[in-house]
């Protein structure tokens, strides 16, 4: 009695020979995109055009007012803002992103019109000193989709923002002079953040990118929303050192609730940025 030839071992050998090729093609498809760096550190400055409005009112909203730091207090409408970013991948298509910038401004000015802030009235011709400090920092986890020259990103994380605003000078309450007083507020908060991004590599030395991020917080002592957007290019003449240039826009709208009064901040920044880009 003859037995049929055994073909299963031959098929198994063929599968074993093809398996490394399949795994190799899968690993090649999962390689890091040339539009991304394993570790990327950006250090630079933002030459921003700034438009800032401060306001305050009583809790019932019956009394209050707004004034412009640029128009009423004589603040320069251009400000160089330091900025730092750090991105690093965990694997080939996801990782952490950190961002920080700070806007610190102060100015003394003789008022051209009367203004009110935090319960005090500053009359026209009074010399006052205004100050505004705003700090923003964020951390997010980002996913990058695509492995060719174009990748698209989605990020989820949190942002911390802090604002300190103050005015000091000759003031009056209900029309009666009260001498030198200071009106100020300082507070900070955490809020969730959503990020979107796009990266494109033209070749080994030139890239283009776009980023957008939104922060929103409802309720609490310091609520509001913050929007950041940027479009930029990278020039990478050396393996670990390059340069970046971008045009950015930011909008900060915050509302603070206190027992005696409510305060608000509306600040817009737009302008070019230059960065030194360290990459690994």
CA-CA-CA-CA torsion sign (88, 90, 95, 101): negative
pLDDT (tens digit per residue) in 2-60: 444 444 444 443 444 443 443 334 434 457 899 999 999 999 999 999 999 998 887 77
pLDDT (tens digit per residue) in 91-115: 999 999 999 999 999 998 888 888 8
Is the predicted pLDDT of residue 68 greater than 80, yes or no? yes
Q: What are phi and psi of 20, to 5 degrees?
A: -60, -35
pTM of the model: 0.83
Q: What are phi and psi of 274, to 5 degrees?
A: -125, 140
Could you tell me if residue 20 is inside a domain? yes
Here the CATH number for the domain that contains residue 225 is 2.40.128.100
Is the predicted pLDDT of residue 85 greater than 90, yes or no? yes
Distant-in-sequence contacts of 23-30, Cβ < 8 A, 24+ apart: 29/147, 30/92, 30/93, 30/147
More reliable by pLDDT, 25 or 209: 209
- pLDDT at residue 211 in the model: 98
Alpha-carbon gap, residue 9 to 25, rounded angstroms: 25
Whole domain around residue 233: which residue ranges?
8-279
Work out the pLDDT band at 262, boundaries 50, 70, 90: confident
Question: Residues 254-259: what's their mean pLDDT?
Answer: 88
Question: Residues 120-148: what's their mean pLDDT?
Answer: 91
Work out the pLDDT band at 173, boundaries 50, 70, 90: low
Q: What's the token pair of residue 250?
A: 């930011």
| C-beta of residue 110 within 8 angstroms of C-beta of residue 73 | no
Number of domains in the chain: 1
Alpha-carbon gap, residue 174 to 262, rounded angstroms: 19
Which residue shows structure tokens 């957007």? 229
Radius of gyration of the chain (CA): 27
Could you tell me if residue 269 is inside a domain? yes
Kindly report which listed range (88-102, 117-131, 140-154, 255-269) carries the lowest average pLDDT score. Answer: 117-131
Alpha-carbon gap, residue 75 to 50, rounded angstroms: 9
- The bridge status of strand 115-117 relative to strand 120-122 is antiparallel
Could you tell me if residue 1 is inside a domain? no
What mean pLDDT, rounded, does the chain reach?
87
Is the predicted pLDDT of residue 265 greater than 90, yes or no? yes
Work out the pLDDT band at 175, boundaries 50, 70, 90: low
């Amino acid at each position: 009695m003859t037995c049929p030839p055994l073909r299963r071992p031959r098929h198994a050998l063929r599968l074993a020979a093809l398996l490394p090729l399949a795994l190799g093609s899968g690993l090649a498809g999962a390689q890091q995109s040339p539009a991304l760096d394993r570790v990327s550190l950006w250090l630079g400055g933002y030459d921003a055009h700034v438009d800032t409005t401060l306001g305050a009112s009583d809790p019932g909203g019956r009394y209050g007012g707004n004034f412009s730091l640029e128009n009423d207090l004589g603040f320069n409408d251009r400000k160089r803002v330091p900025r730092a970013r750090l991105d690093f991948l965990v694997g080939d298509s996801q990782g952490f992103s950190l961002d920080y910038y700070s806007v610190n401004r102060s100015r003394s000015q003789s008022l051209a019109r009367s203004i009110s802030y935090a319960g005090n009235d500053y009359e026209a011709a009074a010399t006052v000193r205004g100050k505004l400090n705003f700090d923003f920092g964020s951390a997010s986890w980002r996913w990058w989709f695509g492995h060719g020259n174009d990748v698209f990103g989605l990020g989820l994380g949190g942002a911390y923002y802090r604002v300190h605003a103050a005015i000091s000078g000759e003031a009056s309450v209900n029309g009666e002079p009260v001498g030198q007083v200071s009106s100020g507020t300082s507070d900070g908060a955490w809020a969730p953040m959503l990020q979107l991004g796009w990266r494109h590599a033209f070749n080994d030395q030139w890239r283009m990118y776009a980023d957008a991020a939104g922060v929103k917080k409802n309720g609490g002592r310091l609520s509001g929303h913050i929007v950041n957007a940027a479009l930029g290019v990278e020039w990478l003449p050396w393996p670990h050192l390059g340069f970046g240039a971008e045009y950015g826009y930011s909008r900060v709208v915050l509302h603070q609730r206190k027992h005696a009064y409510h305060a608000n901040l509306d600040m817009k920044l737009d302008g070019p940025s230059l960065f030194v880009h360290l990459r690994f």
